[in-house]
Amino acid sequence: MDLCGVGLIGLAGVLIVMTGLPAYMVLCCVTLCGAVFGLFWGGLPPAVFAALPARLINLLDNDLLQALPLYVVIGVLLDRLPLTTALYRSIRRAFGHSTGADPATVMTIGGLLGPMNGSVGANVLGLCRSIYPRLLQAGVPVPQAQGLICVASTLGVVIPPSLVLILLGDAMMGAHITALQGTARTDRIINTHDIFHGVLAPALLLLIGFVVMALMQGKTRQTPTPSATPLLPVEAGTALITLCIFLGLLGGVGYGVFYAVEAAATGAVLLLLYGIWGGHLSLTIMRDCLQEAAATTGALFALLVAATSFTLILRLLGTDRLMASWLLGLDMAPLLFLCLILVLVTLAALVLDAFEIIFVIIPLFAPPLLMRVDDAVWVSVCLLLTLQLAFLLPPIGYAVMMTRGLTKPHVPLRQVMRAIKPYLALQALCLVLVLVWPASVHLLDSPQSRTRQGQGMTSPTPIETQLKQLMPVQEMPALPHR
């Protein structure tokens, strides 16, 4: 019966790739097929499915999920307000008049607005709307312009407090508890802020490297940069205030001064006040923004509910235990075992978005990985860097496919990949650096946090919360042995 779950995973992957249907719809259909099989041919008693409602209620009761619609609202408002234009013109002015100013500005904008937009798809859409036409006007060649959009759109994966980081932090906390329940270790349970701290130093290093690479690439371009219109004082002031607010929010969340929900609410309210005060948001535009935000949020929650139901079916069928036994049966060193999981995640990222990987793939692979590797923050940062790298890999990297589908004119893929190649090398170098130097993810840890982690102390609040959420699953009737 446990092999049936493996077949369900393969069926879900094939349907997502071949049909083009939304992932939540495919997962719901495959979950229904698995439930029918378990009831009529697998010997599962109907009572075990009573755990699903309680499981979903406990899932949606998570405070972190309040940040999802707020960050979606921020991304939608950024696409409607002229803030991106003011930021672009001001930051470009700061880089001077060289031909590398526009590429470097794109990377800076991607690192600043990427965490606010949330997913890679939203970042690509926003940059294609507001930044890509400006690159073409500045004389940047089409392949290089598309490559810049691809690379900049992935920065939101690793820079806190993006939706990817929030959801991955929650998933890794649950995986960490599951792993500790299967071992005798008493490590401190990680939380989202631990991952924020861990990824901040590699993310800043990567952002600086991308900006420097963009400046170097731009200087080799022979096409002169057209003269830009003078920067108005109002634009410069708006950009400066926006930059200070965004850096304050991002830095505050990343350093643990306040929670991601508070930062998202503050950013959304400030953007709304700016739009109303400046006359940029009419009732029609606000209605469209709210409709788009509601549709995007609904799709995210639908995916979350579908993935939770799908993973419950897999656990009922015993697939998680089967995959854990397969993985833990491999006689490999912890570093090689981590590299194997990263390769599997890379393959999944070629066809799935970050949210689908977090909701479906991470709950299967992360617990056995954390049973073999002690440092959960290090594992989380490696997973994030791998996701970012996978979205740029040819020929079907998610960011590459979306950018080529939203931009014109179409150019051969090899030309776009030639423009992306230096950034891929920097990305791979950063990942290798983190792999061989695990202490790099703990550079910003406080001495108290390092002491607690070294002593193996537990954090009672996350444990109590997670155990409460796991109670409906633990109280299920015993399954018949197959």
Q: What are the pLDDT digits (tens) for 448-464?
A: 555 444 433 333 344 34
Cα–Cα nearest to 352, from 31, 5, 22: 22
How far is the CA of 154 from the CAs of 3, 192, 303, 327, 396, in angstroms?
35, 20, 21, 29, 15
311-325 residue pLDDT tens:
778 777 777 677 777
Going from the C-alpha of 59 to that of each of 104, 263, 304, the distances in angstroms are 40, 22, 9
Nearest to 23 by CA among 12, 11, 10: 12
Residue 221: its pLDDT value, please?
61
Determine the average pLDDT of the residues in 148-174: 84
Domain segments of the chain as ranges? 58-455
Q: Does pLDDT of 308 surpass 70?
A: yes
At residue 452, the pLDDT reads: 42
Does 2 or 391 have the greater pLDDT score? 391
pLDDT band at 118 (very low <50, low <70, confident <90, very high): low
Q: Are 129 and 153 in contact (CB under 8 A)?
A: no
Rounded Cα gap, residues 337 and 279, in angstroms: 55
Q: What are phi and psi of 160, to 5 degrees?
A: -70, 155
What pLDDT digit, counting tens, does each position of 14-46 carry? 787 677 677 788 888 888 888 888 777 766 777
Left (φ > 0), alpha (ψ -120 to 50) or beta: where does 388 sit?
alpha
Q: What is the pLDDT of residue 480?
A: 39
Q: Which pLDDT score is estimated for 288? A: 87
- Report the pLDDT value the prediction gives residue 262, as an integer from 0 to 100: 80
User: Helix (H) and strand (E) counts for the chain?
Assistant: 23, 0
Sequence-separated (6 or more) residues with CB below 8 Å from residue 361: 344, 345, 348, 352
Peptide bond into 224 cis (omega under 30): no
The reported pLDDT for the residue numbered 222 is 57
CA dihedral over 219, 225, 227, 230, signed as positive or negative: negative
User: pLDDT band at 430, cuts 50/70/90?
Assistant: very high
CB 127 within 8 A of CB 164: no
Q: What pLDDT, on the 0 to 100 scale, is given for residue 465?
A: 46
| CA atoms of 166 and 359, how far apart (whole Å) | 12
How would residue 373 be classed by pLDDT, with cut points 50, 70 and 90? Answer: confident
Range in 239-253, 280-294, 410-424 the model is least confident about: 239-253
Q: What was the pLDDT predicted at 476?
A: 35
pTM score of the predicted model: 0.77
Supply the pLDDT for residue 382.
92
The mean pLDDT of 264-275, rounded to a whole number, is: 85
Q: Could you tell me if residue 242 is left (phi over 0), alpha (psi between -120 and 50 degrees) or otherwise beta?
A: alpha
Span 186-205, mean pLDDT? 85
132 pLDDT exceeds 50?
Answer: yes
Percentage of the chain lying above the pLDDT 70 cut: 84
* Backbone region of residue 282 per phi and psi (left: phi > 0; alpha: psi in -120 to 50; beta: other values): beta
81 pLDDT higher than 70: yes
Q: What share of the chain is helix, strand, coil (3-state, %, to 5)?
A: 80, 0, 20
Residue 3 exposed, middle or buried by CB count within 10 Å (0-12, 13-18, 19+): exposed
Q: Which residue has the higher pLDDT, 468 or 88?
A: 88
What is the pLDDT at residue 408? 82
- At residue 471, the pLDDT reads 39
Least confident of 185-189, 220-224, 279-283, 471-475: 471-475
Q: pLDDT higher for 291 or 228?
A: 291
Mean pLDDT, the chain, integer: 78
The pLDDT of residue 474 is 37
Max Cα distance, the chain (Å): 75
Rounded Cα distance, 131 and 88, in Å: 8
Region 161-165: mean pLDDT is: 77
**Residue 433 above 90 pLDDT?**
yes
